[in-house]
Amino acid sequence: MKLFYTKSSPYAACVLATIAELKAEHLIELVESAPFENAPEFILSNPLGKVPCLIDEGMPILDSEVICDYIDANISGGLLFEDIYANWHLKTFYSICSGLIDASVNLRIETLRDQEGIKSEFWWQRHSEAIERTLLEIETRLSTLPEKFSIIHIAIFCALGYLDFRHPHIKWRENRLGLVEFYDSIQSRECFSNLKLG
Ligand SMILES: N[C@@H](CCC(=O)N[C@@H](CS)C(=O)NCC(=O)O)C(=O)O
């Protein structure tokens, strides 16, 4: 298997943490690929031009949620996902965490647009408010997390790590003791040890 990724992508971070958790590094060749360079093999595999993108025996697997599920299903038989299959509450919890990543990436895009002089105050505000509401929602739902380490743990960790990396002005630790405790309790897990967004 071959994985196109970038070090700055929170979606790729979820995939890399999944690979590390399942100790599958030896099965997957990592290819760092800046999406905006449109490298031919990458763009042929993913017409959307986004990372991460996995290729297994010529078959492209997209997007990050599907890649994590695919790797988990093929390597561990579903260790990271088994608790959320057909559990609509947990599936929604997972979507909310992925949505936090989406809103944070959208906010990053507004920062880049600002550098081009075309920042939209409306969208900046909208993404910022979505991030604040979603942080609160995730904190509220923490008590419903499966006891066993899961893909939701990974998604929350990567979302919060991305906020620290790209949006340090968002003080997510303030007044969110539950989230801080959760983050601190998993950050020394081995699967996150080589994860450096940058
Ligand atoms: N839903 C996709 C989102 C992937 C995504 O947006 N990746 C960003 C990097 S963080 C990207 O490749 N952007 C390039 C582009 O939008 O052209 C996933 O979960 O993999």
- Domain contains 197: no
Do 38 and 63 share a structural domain? yes
Position 81 in a domain: no
Based on the domain organization, do 67 and 96 belong to the same domain?
no
Q: At residue 198, does pLDDT exceed 90?
A: no
Mean per-residue pLDDT for 152-157? 98
pLDDT tens for residues 96-121?
999 999 999 999 999 999 999 998 99
Instruction: For residue 97, give its domain range.
Output: 88-189
Q: What is the pLDDT of residues 15-70, one digit of tens each?
A: 999 999 999 999 999 999 998 898 888 899 999 999 999 999 999 999 999 999 99
**Which residue, 40, 75, 110, sits at the end of a domain?**
75
* 174 and 96 both lie in a single domain: yes
How many structural domains compose the chain?
A: 2
- Evaluate whether residue 40 is within a structural domain: yes
- Give yes or no for a cis peptide into 184 (omega within 30° of 0): no
Q: Are 51 and 5 in contact (CB under 8 A)?
A: yes
pLDDT tens profile 121-152:
999 999 999 999 999 999 999 999 999 999 99
Average pLDDT, integer, range 165-193: 97
In a domain, 119, yes or no: yes
What is the per-residue pLDDT for 46? 94
198 located within any domain = no
Any atom of ligand 1 within 6 Å of the Cβ of 9: yes
Mark whether 165 and 122 lie in a shared domain. yes
Residue nearest to atom 10 of ligand 1 (CA): 9
Which pLDDT value is given to residue 129?
98
Residues 70 and 95 in one domain: no
Residues 159 and 117 grouped into a single domain = yes
Mean pLDDT for the chain overall: 96
- CB of residue 49 inside a 6 A radius of ligand 1: yes
pLDDT at 35: 85
* 47 inside domain: yes
Task: Return the structure tokens found at 39.
Answer: 């490298």
**pLDDT score at 196:** 87
Report yes or no on 21 lying in a domain. yes
User: How far is Cα 186 from Cα 169, in angstroms, rounded to an integer?
Assistant: 23
Which of 5, 6, 7, 11 is the pocket-test mutation for ligand 1 (most atoms within 8 Å of CB)? Answer: 11
User: Is residue 183 predicted with pLDDT exceeding 90?
Assistant: yes
Q: Alpha-carbon distance 36 to 16, whole Å?
A: 20
36 & 105 share domain: no
- CATH number, domain with residue 58: 3.40.30.10
Q: Is the CB of 33 under 6 A from ligand 1?
A: no
The CB of 105 under 6 Å from ligand 1? The reply is yes
